A and B are shown apart, each in its own frame.
Chain A
Amino acid sequence: MMTVPSKLQSVNLNLWYGAFWALKGVSMAIRPQAITAIIGPSGCGKSTLLRCFNRMNDLTRSVRTDGQVLLDGQDIYASGYELTRLRKRVGMVFQRPNPFPLNVFDNVAYGPRVHGVRDRRTLERIVESSLKATALWEALQNRLDRPALALSAEQQQRLCISRLLAVEPEVLLMDEPCSALDPVATQHIEELMRELMQRYTIVIVTHNMQQAARISDETGFMLLGELVEFGTTKTIFTNPRDKRTEEYVTGRYG
């Protein structure tokens, strides 16, 4: 187990929003074909860390980063690293489902089109397999021309995951993907994640400790920009080393 090289790894990663130090020397190694959860109280920097993995923080003015993030051993913050290729390999699902104001087909076909697929047949095949992967095909195969914004919240979030799978990513970053969903939909998405885990490397940020405990293989606990503890989910929840982790997972913290 220890010999598996990590898919994604941050090495002494620091990040500042202007003068505010939001990530403090975070080092974390993420295993391939597994689900890694990041937990911690609100404002501790979970989303910020996640957005370092596909360099979405670059879009925010006044952000400064130092340290390394290695994807398959290559530093994605090295100068000249191609961002569009990075984001194709490391995809992101957002907290609120954000399908484009286009129809279902065009939503899923968007990524492939952006990356140069023009052939209609190929696009149709990609759309079908991506919708099948999130169990949407049954429900939507005859409604591909329907506006995506007319779907239910759960279907919208599944569609966003399909849209992501369509570009054949290697890593899926999920920032509280269930927080806008009801418990039943949440359970469905969790089941979906367990299935996807066999083919993808998944990193999920969640507020919900039960969720982290249920679905993840490894868990990192963050506090005020620091990664306090990182280990197997079992260890973090039953036998944490750090006192602050213990206080948090037993619910005695914030």
Chain B
Amino acid sequence: MLVAFSAVSALALITAFIFRAGLPIMMKVGLGDFIFSNEWRPTDASPSFGIFPMIMGSLAVTAGAMVIGVSLGLACAIVLTQFCHPRAVSVLKPAIELLAGIPSVVFGFIGVVILVPLIRQYLGGWGLSVLAASLVLGIMMLPTVTSITVDALQAVPRSYGDGSIALGATKWQTTHMVLLKAAGSGIMAAVILGMGRAIGETMAVIMVIGNWLDVPHSILDPARTLTSNIALEMGYSAGEHRQALFATGVVLFVIIMAVNTAALAFSRHHLRKAGMR
């Protein structure tokens, strides 16, 4: 109770602090300009603060990471639960979960050393790109998505699968038409948690994305995300620049809240449709 209360009040304090530090500059620049302007020149004599490129960078990287992380994670979970011996699962699942403990710099480092040159060589561009960041984040999401999806699939009553097989369905039909649906809420939780990690991750992204201040037009373009912008500039910022970074934090905060709420509402809707509640 006390712990819950202190957690909630800490959260409230942080929120209040970020908003208090960030809102004034947003008002001054104008909300529309702040969000939709392409110009981010915080240290000029007459500075301009437009974070549109960073918003697009964050969205692009997150979307890319979701596509990669969720599809790989689901595939891993399906193979583990449906096609592996239980004993193999009891070894492989913890091994995958161990991946979650690797510090993000290490992922970023591997990205820079291996992924970026590969992309530069075979796909063109700098290598430092939205694609590189999406791949690194997608792989970082993998343990979370896989492990929660495995739990969700294992929690599906055996009787559903038996019922389907007994109607002459193949194992694959059973998996995607019954089991994945029955595990839907758990999988949704996995996706939300994975997404949280993708939007919030900073270090690994800074290392592979190029931190370029333009709206990316292809997945091979470099870009900059909201989090990397804050992390890169906070050290030397002052005055309005610093306030603008807090304002960037406000936008990030709102986006994460919106995404999570939407995801929750979506999964509720699905649960109701399936009659799970």
A residues at B contact (CB < 8 Å): 54, 56, 59, 83-88, 91-92, 94, 96, 98-103, 110-111, 113-115, 146-150, 160, 163-164, 167
Contacts and interface: CB of A to CB of B under 8 A. Distances in A.
Nearest to A58: B165
Given A56-B162, A98-B160, A114-B173, A85 B274 contact: no
Given A101-B276, A114-B173, A114-B177, A59 B167 contact: no
Contacts of B272: 147
Given A101-B181, A147-B273, A88 B160 contact: no
Given A94-B159, A96-B159, A114-B177, A149 B168 contact: no
Given A101-B160, A101-B182, A164 B165 contact: no
Nearest to B156: A101
Interface SS, A side: helix
Nearest to B166: A92
A91 B99 CA distance: 44
A21 to B, nearest CB: 24
A87 B168 contact: yes
B275 A160 contact: no
B182 A114 contact: no
A94 B165 CA distance: 12
Contacts of A113: 177
A95 B197 CA distance: 44
Given A114-B173, A115-B168, A149-B274, 18 more contacts: A54-B166, A56-B165, A59-B165, A84-B169, A96-B159, A98-B157, A100-B178, A101-B181, A101-B276, A110-B164, A110-B169, A110-B177, A111-B167, A114-B168, A146-B275, A147-B274, A160-B163, A167-B167
A27 B64 CA distance: 60
Given A84-B169, A111-B168, A147-B274, A98 B162 contact: yes
14 contacts: A59-B162, A84-B169, A85-B168, A94-B163, A98-B162, A99-B163, A100-B178, A100-B182, A102-B274, A110-B169, A114-B169, A146-B275, A160-B163, A167-B167
